[in-house]
Each structure stands twice: as structure tokens, then as C-alpha cells.
A and B are shown apart, each in its own frame.
Chain A
């Protein structure tokens, strides 16, 4: 078990030293994943609400499709975004391939189905309980959606966390569209992949431990937030 004690010591050293290269990698990982979750929520919450509340032909198929997309392999998403952003692809003129922006785009696509699917389920469930009451109180359709989103905030926070967890932990998509460029598109997961391929297993493992620590910290903050959220919240 020497490997693990080595990794542990390396992890401690990394944190103690505040190595700027290491801080840079952590900051980029957080920035890319948090931004991706932000945009995925911006698109996914209304999409989930739409699928929950609007009746249209093919809605059942759309829901099945959306739920299936939750299991999309990151590397496939990476490949699709790569082909789109490549100079030879439809969005090639923007020159976005191998930039953090490309990574954000890929992770947004990756996270969107999770957020939209959980939001849809949450809102559909709440709707059966609340619909008559909100209509009776005089809520218009838009007000109804906003109120249901606010009432479901606890479950929706879980959706955001699930999305963040998927984004921060995935390596396939960011590797393909980001290119793992030192000081530019290197995230914690691509750094772990790189150190593993260099046979530097203790450093790779140490980075892995710190990634776990980071996700625990984010989830703990959300847990505290949820306790405040579950009964209260919302402006008067």
C-alpha cells in the first residue's frame, strides 16, 4: 500500500506548496465545469419545464430521448463538438478548437440532458400537486413555471450538483476538444490522465484525491444551502 501513502504525501505537498501550476489547473477545472453547469441550467431548466408542462405530439419520444442522453459517453460528445468546431467543420471559422471555450461547450452539451431530465421530472411531479392551486391564485403560465421552479429548488439543486459532478469528473470530452494544453486547457482530469501515462502514478493519484476533496467541498456547500432552501427561500 506504499502507492497510496506516497500519493497521500504528494497530495499534501501539492496543497501546502500552493504550486501556481497546480492552482491554475484547479481554477480552470472549476471555471470550465461551473460555467458549463451555468449555461446548461440556463437552457435545461426551461427545456425541462417545457417538456413537463406543454403537451405536443412526440413529447413521449422526446422525454425518452432526453433521459437516454443522460448516459451519453463524454468522448462521443467530445468527438461531435470536435467535428463541429474543427476548421473543417461548420463552426470552424471561430477558431474555438483547443480553447477553454470549446471545453465549456462540450461540457454544457454533456450536462444539459441531466439538468433538463431531472427538472422535467421535478416539475411534472410538482405540477400535479400545485396546478389547480396556482391557477386558482391567479398565476399565468409564465408565473406558474417560475413558481414551480422555485418550489422545486431543492431537487433542482440536486440536478445542478449531478451535472457538476459529471462535468468535473469527465476526461473524454475535455481531452478531445481541449487538447490538454499545458497552462491553457489542462484540467485536473486531463492532468491525471497525463501523469498516469507518464507512469507518475503517485502524482496522478494525488490529483485524484484532491479532485475528490474538491467535489466533497462543493457538495457540502450545497448540502448546507439545501437545508436553508427546503422550507424557506424566495423573495417576499
Chain B
């Protein structure tokens, strides 16, 4: 019987003891690409050490991140889709947009490269080859920054591929990692940000087939959720985080985050796009 008393005490403790972790001072909503790369677990402890401010990160696609900001459920956003960011700020949902760092997108696919993407002269040409070969292509299909860039590349070709039909174009409505897992499992092409790609571990036959086109440039920007609209936003703490990330110290910290000797993000606050 003593054993059951012990179990009862254990259950009661689980229910009634408070959690050790206190609520955060700041909620940063960002993209899966940055979270999955491990950037935040590298950067934020440095920020917390410098300021004493604790930050919680929720990682979703850029489209959803902007929605969350619009509803006032975040303090700061770190996202990567300039047209929708500007629309977000213009609509009064956010203020103080600051470009903070960039990396680039890469087209990955099976090493055998049946569509000949590696020989393409530009990103749009690479997409045209995939379309011509009807080679399987995985689209995020989730209104993320990556998905929106992909849409712009197809639009440049006057194409708007639909999932279904002859089946080469597959819109999966999921994050970057899920898209890479699916591409790896089905020898398909996909568009990935370099950060997620470098930290991705289940590559199988996948390899980078095309990169380097300025059209694949991937700018990240910070936006403060408009406190005039949502008075509960932690403005002071949020500004400290934004200021720190664009400070010399923060920018150096971003540059020093590397996987396999390679920087994942290049700080560029106050500079023009390359």
C-alpha cells in the first residue's frame, strides 16, 4: 500500500508544484529556418548574459509569424519576406523594421540531377529545367518566406504550377525540414535556405545543385509589433533585443555562428544588399 501512496504523492506533486521555469520577458516569433539552424540557442544566451532579459522563441513560417504579430501574440518578429513585411508595417501592425542579416537560398536535388539543374545559368533557368523534365519538386506550400520566393521564381517564368495533375509538383504545406525530408526520401528537388540545409542531417542523396544567383538572396529583418495597437507588448525589452542584434557585438555574434566552419548568416545591418 505504501507504494501506491508514493505514486499518489508523485501525481499530486506533478499537478501542483509550479514549473521551475518562469515566464519569459520577451516573446520572439521567428522562422523555422533560423530556429532549426540552432542560431537562437547560440545567440540568445549571450544576449541574456548581457542584459538579463529572457527570450522565448516560437518558430513558424513567415506568413504565420506575421499573422501572430498582427493578433498581438508576439513582441518581436524576425522574418524573411520583404514584400509582405513592408505590407505588414504599412498596415500599422508593426514598426521599426530593421534588416539585420542575410543568407541565401540554394536549390537542392538528387546528386544524379536528372533535370540538369547544375548546368543552369540562373535560378529561373534552373526552375525552367525542372519544369521541362517534369522532375519531382517539393514546394513548402505554407506561405513562408521560402515559399513566397519560390512563387516569385515561377512567376518570372510565367508559370503557376499546381500540385496534383501529372504529379511532378508537390505542395506539402509544411516546414523546411519536412520538405527536405520528403525531397531526400523521394529524390526530388526543392528550394531551401542555406542555414537549414547546412544543419540538416538526413540528406541521403540530396546535394546543392545551384546557388549564387542574386535572385536567391535571403534578407532577414526585425519588426517590433506595434505597441500602439497592442499595449501589452514588452517595448523596452524588445528594443533592447533589436538594438543588441544590430550592435557591433550582436552583429559579430551572428557572424561567429558556424556549422562545419561555414557561417550560416551574414550580418548586414546598415549595409545595402550585396
Contact = CB atoms under 8 A, between A and B. Distances in A.
Contact flag (A, B; Cβ within 8 A): yes
B77 interface: no
Given A184-B56, A225-B4, A30 B71 contact: no
B232 A98 contact: no
Contacts of B100: none
Contact of A199 (B11, B14, B73, B184): B184
A183 B177 contact: no
Given A30-B14, A180-B59, A197-B181, A88 B72 contact: yes
Main secondary structure of the interface of B (DSSP, over half): mixed
Contacts of A196: 177-178, 181
B49 interface: no
B32 A199 contact: no
Interface stretch (B21-29, B79-87, B151-159, B244-252): B21-29
A199 B232 contact: no
Contacts of B201: 198-201
Contact of A184 (B24, B32, B178): B24
A34 B32 CA distance: 29
A92 interface: yes
Interface string B1-27: 000100100010011000111011001
Contact of A197 (B14, B72, B175): B175
A86 B202 contact: no
B58 A180 contact: yes
Contact of B32 (A30, A92, A197, A201): A197
Contacts of B181: 196-197, 199
A181 B4 contact: no
A200 B202 contact: yes
B98 interface: no
Contacts of B56: 98, 179, 181-182, 184-185
A100 B180 CA distance: 30
Contacts of B40: 182
A100 B24 CA distance: 12
Interface centre among B11, B180, B202 (most CB of A within 10 A): B202
Contacts of A28: 19
Given A35-B14, A184-B24, A198-B201, A179 B178 contact: no
Interface in B97-129: none
A87 B15 contact: no
Given A197-B177, A197-B178, A201-B202, A221 B19 contact: no
A122 B20 CA distance: 38
B57 A182 contact: yes
16 contacts: A30-B14, A31-B14, A38-B11, A86-B73, A95-B232, A98-B73, A100-B19, A179-B56, A180-B59, A182-B41, A184-B21, A185-B56, A194-B36, A197-B178, A199-B203, A200-B202
Given A98-B56, A196-B177, A199-B184, 14 more contacts: A34-B14, A34-B15, A87-B72, A87-B232, A181-B56, A182-B41, A184-B56, A194-B36, A197-B32, A197-B174, A198-B200, A199-B201, A199-B203, A228-B4
